[in-house]
Structure 1
Amino acid sequence: MKFSLSGRIIEVAYKYCKMSIDEFIKMAGEIGYDAVELRRTQISEKTTPEELQQIKEASQKYNVGISRIPACSVKDDASMKELEKYADMAVELNCPYLAIGFETTQWAQRAADYLKERDLSIAIQVHTDGPFESPELALKTLKEIDRDNFGLMFDPANYFVRRIDYVKAVEQLKDYIFIVSVQCLAEASPDDAHAEEERGFYYKRHLLGQPGGMDFQAVFDAVKKIGFDGYVTVIEPISEVMESRELAKHMYEQLKKMTA
């Protein structure tokens, strides 16, 4: 497996990142990550050719790949035209995966067909709400789209907060998992100051590898069993209690142990 670090770990309130892209990619490489996943605050339709070249040069300089970039929501001919720019950027960065939004199966298929011509794939994050919020619904959606370059960024945490067996889901979704993402949570009491809530279930951020949190060792045992050998992407948000570099290093070390 290859390890990737999301820019979410340095992103402040979904508005900006506290490091330049060069600094971020350099940090990831120094820790040992194989790649980075870029956020919309780092690359978007507003990215200039000069800025794209800077990302490419940093990727090459620090020998760190780009695993996935965000793209647009595909819903009409205008947005398909916009998708072309994201595809151009992905090709320039040698990035294999894009994240898209879509309103209908037909538009998802059109996007996948176009990207296949560019040797690119779509990896959609498993998330609460929407067409991938349970393994059963995800399978239904994926079978309707029926494109071999349209798959999932499997996020166990989003199934955890829905009280879905996220380890069993690995086997259920094995044919469609392109990326495995990691953000660790634990159940919390309603009066916990750090608790968040999803449909009556309370949870909080938890340090990977510490007792009491999600069982990611079981996740990786299941992932190995299905023969997965792709990107494992750390998507932890910026931490209130730990510096981003320290958290990124901790996550990398834990992932190396769990996937050994």
Structure 2
Amino acid sequence: MKLSLSVRIAEAACKTKLNISFTELADIAVESGYSALCMRASVVGIQSSQSELDQIRSIVDRAGLVVSMVTADFNIPQNNDHAPEALKDIEPSLNVAETLGCKMIRVCLKSEADIFHAQRAADLAAERGMQLVHQFHPACLFEEVEKSVAILNQIDRPNFGLIYEPASLLMCGQEYGERTLKKILPWLMNVYVQNLVITTDGPDHLETWCLGDRPFQLLPYWDESGRGIDFKHMMSGLKAVDFNRFFTVHQAEGIVTAADARAYAVRCKAWFDSLS
């Protein structure tokens, strides 16, 4: 597996900007042993000028990194009602990814009506040799494993796949180990990881369609209390299906200094190595 660091670790709470410079984050990633960055619109996206995109690409190239995936629209990580609109006009997202040298773009479906637009968007992406991927995520069509597989079969495009994310599966009451990985294997294109525990009173909450409001608490990846994601179980499943693509450290941390970002990236790399 190739290790990727999401720019999300240093995003502000609004998800529209970073708390540290992208140059600093890129340097931290390469110094800490990552091979890629997962890009979001908080750095550059469909709102950016071509010169801004070119500048970010030059920083990535200079650092010797690649971009593992692009989330080019602010609405998609916010998972709001506008998130599927990118499917109706996918070319700007394709242009962002192409400039950044990336072949994978995250999208969002919220209703059955979005399936048609996903098919057309995937066809346009295929013309450029690109893939569209959807994360397992609460409050969208990809909450539950069986329903997600049914939607993927309806879309029926070889370049439309899944981002496996065990914390979202846990949030929605789904099994996230080897059994699930074998079910989604034909569409498995990327891995995101976060760690959390479902609680009775928060401090955070997410609304799911399948189970209603879910209070939860984020945990460090290396938490040893046994309350969160069983990462050894997860890794065993990934090895069982011979997953060898990008594995992305994706947890929101709200980091505000380069020193904290460096310390976090180093510790996450050591944690990943301990699982390998």
| TM-score w.r.t. length of structure 1 | 0.90
| Matched AA of 1:215 | D
Equivalent position SS for 1:17: coil
Question: Where does residue 185 of structure 2 map in the other structure?
Answer: 174
Report the alpha carbon displacement of residue 2 of structure 1 after superposing the two structures with TM.
0.5
Report the alpha carbon displacement of residue 232 of structure 1 after superposing the two structures with TM.
0.4
Question: Where does residue 144 of structure 1 map in the other structure?
Answer: 154
Report the alpha carbon displacement of residue 115 of structure 1 after superposing the two structures with TM.
0.5
Runs of 4+ deviating beyond 4 Å: 72-77, 239-242
Question: Where does residue 124 of structure 1 map in the other structure?
Answer: 134
Report the alpha carbon displacement of residue 47 of structure 1 after superposing the two structures with TM.
1.1
Question: Where does residue 85 of structure 1 map in the other structure?
Answer: 92
Question: Where does residue 79 of structure 2 map in the other structure?
Answer: none
| Matched AA of 1:182 | V
| Matched AA of 2:63 | Y
Equivalent position SS for 2:185: coil
| Matched AA of 2:58 | E
- Out of 99, 108, 114, the position equivalent to 1:101 is 108
Aligned residues with identical type, % of pairs: 26
Deviations, residues 148-182 of structure 1 (Å, cap 9, x unaligned): 11001111101111221111322221111100111
Equivalent position SS for 1:166: coil
Shift in CA distance, 84/239, structure 1 to aligned 2, threshold 3 Å: closer
Question: Where does residue 250 of structure 2 map in the other structure?
Answer: 235
Q: Which runs of 5+ in 2 are unaligned?
A: 74-82
| Matched AA of 2:95 | D
Partners of 1:249 and 1:65 lie apart in 2 by 19
Deviations, residues 52-105 of structure 1 (Å, cap 9, x unaligned): 11111111111111011124556599x42xx22321221222112101234521
| Matched AA of 2:107 | I
Partners of 2:256 and 2:92 lie apart in 1 by 38
Equivalent position SS for 1:16: coil
| TM-score w.r.t. length of structure 2 | 0.85
Contact 2:86 2:107 in 1 (8 A): no
What is the number of equivalent residue pairs in this alignment?
254
Equivalent position SS for 1:180: strand
- Out of 113, 127, 134, the position equivalent to 2:144 is 134
Deviations, residues 91-125 of structure 1 (Å, cap 9, x unaligned): 22211210123452111011001101101101111
Partners of 1:207 and 1:200 lie apart in 2 by 22
Is 1:250 paired with 2:250?
Answer: no
- Out of 165, 175, 178, the position equivalent to 2:175 is 165
Partners of 1:186 and 1:89 lie apart in 2 by 35
The correspondence of residues 1-260 of structure 1 with structure 2, limited to 5 A, is 1-13=1-13, 14-71=15-72, 79-80=88-89, 83-102=90-109, 103-167=113-177, 168-190=179-201, 194-196=203-205, 199=212, 201-211=214-224, 212=226, 213-239=228-254, 243-258=260-275, 260=276
Tell me which moved more, 161-170 or 217-226: 161-170
Shift in CA distance, 88/195, structure 1 to aligned 2, threshold 3 Å: closer
Q: Which runs of 5+ in 1 are unaligned?
A: none
Tell me which moved more, 67-76 or 175-184: 67-76
Shift in CA distance, 107/62, structure 1 to aligned 2, threshold 3 Å: same
Equivalent position SS for 1:25: helix
Contact 1:238 1:244 in 2 (8 A): no
